[in-house]
Amino acid sequence: MSPATLRRAARETVSGLPREFWWLWTSTLVNRLGAFVATFMALYLTLDRGYSASYAGLVASLHGLGGVVSALGGGVMADRLGRRPTLLVAQTATAASVALLGFMTDPAAIAAVAFLVGMASNASRPAVQAMMADIVRPEDRVRAFSLNYWAINLGFAVSSAAAGFIAEFSYLAGFLIEAGMTLACALVVFLKVPESRPAVVGAKGAADSVRLGTVLRDGRYMAVVGLSFLVALVFQQGSVGLPVAMGRAGFSPADYGLAIAVNGVLIVALQIPVTRLIEHRDPRTLLIVSSVLAGYGFGLTAFAGSVGVFMLTVCVWTLAEIVNAPTQTGLVVRLSPVHGRGRYQGMYTLSWSVAALVAPLMSGAVIDRFGAEWLWAMCAAVGTAAGVGYGMLMRRLPPERPVPAVVPAEAVAEAPAV
């Protein structure tokens, strides 16, 4: 491919997206570049503080539980207070709690603050996704969500590599750097990102009618949330089932690190070009194919006997992840009422947060009782079930909703009813 072709492809990838999107994208990238604590938390607790692996697991679970609690709360805040205030509150609270966590020494205090960190950090996700849906045209949403997902993975890849070097110097420095970079995200939002919540003037009845109960009674949407949970269970095995299975098979942590590194490298390298190929294709087909591909990508792990084969299986399910992530998020927006996007995004975020809690328990129990081969067979079955579910559910999809008017500056402070 010639340089001119590459430049044209790059221009087409980034063109047409509003300036507000790029400031929000920048905030996401900065946030993930500073995500050190999640990477070295277990090492910090076991090596630096001398706690047991069981205690480190408990802290990780409490962190995840905090995310479950805040998923819906963040969505409600995004609809009631607005996207921008929710982001500012969540990011400021994340910065404060992360910095505080670095100074905690009592086991109970560490666990409690880790729970708060999980709550604060996850509360911003529904607001980010709702804001992107507000400001990006329907035909550009898959591309926008893909670019955001790419920024998340690029930032995480860089921060994961940097976390080891920072930990060698000082674990406390890692906590403080993450807190500082999260505050920088809040500053970007405060200075550059305007409120995007759709105007409620003249549509107050519609705004009042969208409550959490409305989301729960939306049968088609809750079916999508359930299918998202199944797919998330499969993808979670890359970080919970795969390292355990490889360890049981005699492979070293370095072997696992080499295999899983393929996931991040491929996402950074392929997310944008693959999205260019799929952004205008039928989402039903994409979700069916990606679900089945994810299931059988992990299913093939049962036949892996070398690091090279493990890396090949990671390639398969990573391709599924690249296709699934922006397509699934675009579907969530398509099925969400304009004035309830925060709540609907919160419910979608909840499906992934719950999967992050369930997946370690499921994989551990299956591997201990039946062996890793059964876990990979279950992944293939779950992926197939999700694909069939998407095929049945996505007939006669509603049309894309246009980008609504945003709240006037003088009306931003006026919050709609719960």
Task: Establish if 4 belongs to a structural domain.
Answer: no
Q: What is the pLDDT of residues 69-100, one digit of tens each?
A: 888 889 889 988 899 999 999 999 999 999 99
Residue 201 lies in a domain: no
Residue 3 lies in a domain: no
Provide the whole-model pTM: 0.80
Are 290 and 381 contained in the same domain?
yes
Q: What is the pLDDT of residues 172-197, one digit of tens each?
A: 888 999 999 999 999 999 999 999 88
Same-domain check for residues 101 and 237: no
Residue whose structure tokens are 């277990």: 42
In a domain, 105, yes or no: yes
Same domain, 224 and 283: yes
Cα–Cα distance measured from residue 81 to residue 51, given in angstroms and rounded to the nearest whole number: 40
Residue 265, in any domain of the structure: yes
Are residues 351 and 227 part of one domain?
yes
Residue 7 domain-assigned (yes or no): no
pLDDT grade for 9, boundaries at 50, 70 and 90: low
368 in the same domain as 226: yes
Supply the CATH number for residue 230's domain: 1.20.1250.20
Confidence at 165, pLDDT banded by 50, 70, 90: confident
Phi and psi at 250, nearest 5°, equal 95, 10
> Looking at the domain assignment, is residue 2 inside a domain?
no
Domain termination site, one of 146, 166, 195: 195
Does 190 share its domain with 216? Answer: no
Q: Is residue 306 part of a domain?
A: yes
- Residue 369 and residue 232 share a domain: yes
Cα–Cα distances in Å, from 266 out to 47, 154, 316, 326? Answer: 31, 10, 10, 15
The CA-atom distances, in angstroms, between 10 and each of 7, 273, 403 are 5, 9, 24
Same-domain check for residues 161 and 279: no
Determine the structural domain holding residue 214 and report its residue range.
210-397
The verdict on 268 and 178 lying in the same domain is no
- Is the domain of 184 the same as that of 215? no
pLDDT digits (tens, 9 = 90+) for 105-137: 899 999 999 999 989 988 998 999 899 989 998
Who has greater pLDDT, 317 or 362? 317
The total domain count for the chain is 2
**Hey, what are 119's tokens?**
């709550």
Instruction: State whether 162 and 237 are in the same domain.
Output: no
How far separated are the first and last CA of the chain, in Å rounded? 53
Whether residue 47 is found in the same domain as residue 155: yes
